[in-house]
Amino acid sequence: MSQELNAESAAFTFKGGMLPMTVLELASNDVDLIEQQLSGKISQAPAFFQQTPVVLGLDKWEDGALELDKLCTMLRAHKLLPVAVRGGSDEIKQSAWALGMGWFPPNEARTPTQAAPVEQVVPAANRDDQGDTENHYGARVFRGTVRSGQQLSAPRGDLIVVGAVNAGAEILAAGSIHVYGALRGRALAGIHGDLDAAVFCQELRAELIAVAGNYKRLEDIDPALLGRSVQVHMAEDQLDISAFEL
């Protein structure tokens, strides 16, 4: 006999969400070449990739044969966790399902309602007791210090931090990141691949800074920019960091 569940007895609920996810966009189906170049990337910032879930993006790659099982085995050997495929042929979709992975349609196939939302002024009614606010379009405002070991994210829009980001902390946003204070931790903007995203901070000391998966570590940043107000954005397929007067 079936038993109707109520809110108190339900063991789980399904909820929609937009979690931060790294996309590995493939421009080649040569798994050996991918591994060779991936090894170089990982050696530069091993902690950044450790146990990171990734979606394999085939939007920029023409249909063709892909040894998906070999590719996934290689990624797991490098501590990456392939969880889904975006785009590709029907054969690749079936292969993804057979491997227990998810599948997403390519970017151009998505409806306008799935595009990244834009920021609006946050109504006071949405402010919580921790000084953390979020509007209906996904922009998030955090007032205070983001402490070491803490992760703060805005998976649907911009993230605004009115305060400092300590070393060992991580902030992420689907859109741009604005830090009105010292940025000493890790800042990742455009986490869903938005190349128009940017990072603005009042004092640059970041361990790692990234826009749409393109990143620089502290040692890669021009020392003349450290401690200054800067803007970080993509320019001609390169991550550009320049002084910015607030």
Domain identity same for 86 and 134: no
Report yes or no on 150 lying in a domain. yes
pLDDT for residue 121 is more than 60: no
Tokens of 132: 């953390």
- How many CA atoms lie within 13 Å of 96's alpha carbon, on the beta-carbon side? 21
Contacts of 81 (CB under 8 A, 6+ apart): 51, 52, 53, 54, 75
pLDDT for residue 123 is more than 50: no
Domain identity same for 60 and 88: yes
pLDDT for residue 32 is more than 50: yes
Domain identity same for 84 and 160: no
For 188, phi then psi, to 5°, come to -125, 110
pLDDT for residue 183 is more than 70: yes
Our count of domains for the chain comes to 2
CATH classification at residue 51: 3.30.70.260
Lowest mean pLDDT among 61-70, 78-87, 94-103, 104-113: 104-113
Contacts of 90 (CB under 8 A, 6+ apart): none
Report the alpha-carbon distance of residue 92 to residue 149 in Å, rounded.
Answer: 38
Query: Given pLDDT bands bounded at 50, 70 and 90, which one contains residue 12?
Result: confident
Report yes or no on 76 lying in a domain. yes
Domain identity same for 105 and 137: no
> What average pLDDT score do residues 207-217 get?
89
Domain identity same for 87 and 169: no
Q: Of 71, 89, 112, which residue constitutes the final position of a domain?
A: 112
Report yes or no on 13 lying in a domain. no
Predicted local confidence at residue 128, as pLDDT:
45
Report yes or no on 5 lying in a domain. no
Range(s) of the domain holding residue 90 = 22-112
Q: Is the pTM of this model over 0.75?
A: no
CATH classification at residue 138: 2.160.20.70
For 79, phi then psi, to 5°, come to 70, 20
Domain identity same for 94 and 134: no
Helix or strand or coil: residue 13? coil
Q: Of 112, 134, 151, which residue constitutes the final position of a domain?
A: 112
For 31, phi then psi, to 5°, come to -65, -35
Tokens of 200: 């603005």
Q: Of 61, 78, 112, which residue constitutes the final position of a domain?
A: 112
Report yes or no on 233 lying in a domain. yes
On the 0-12 / 13-18 / 19+ scale of CB atoms within 10 A, 105 is middle
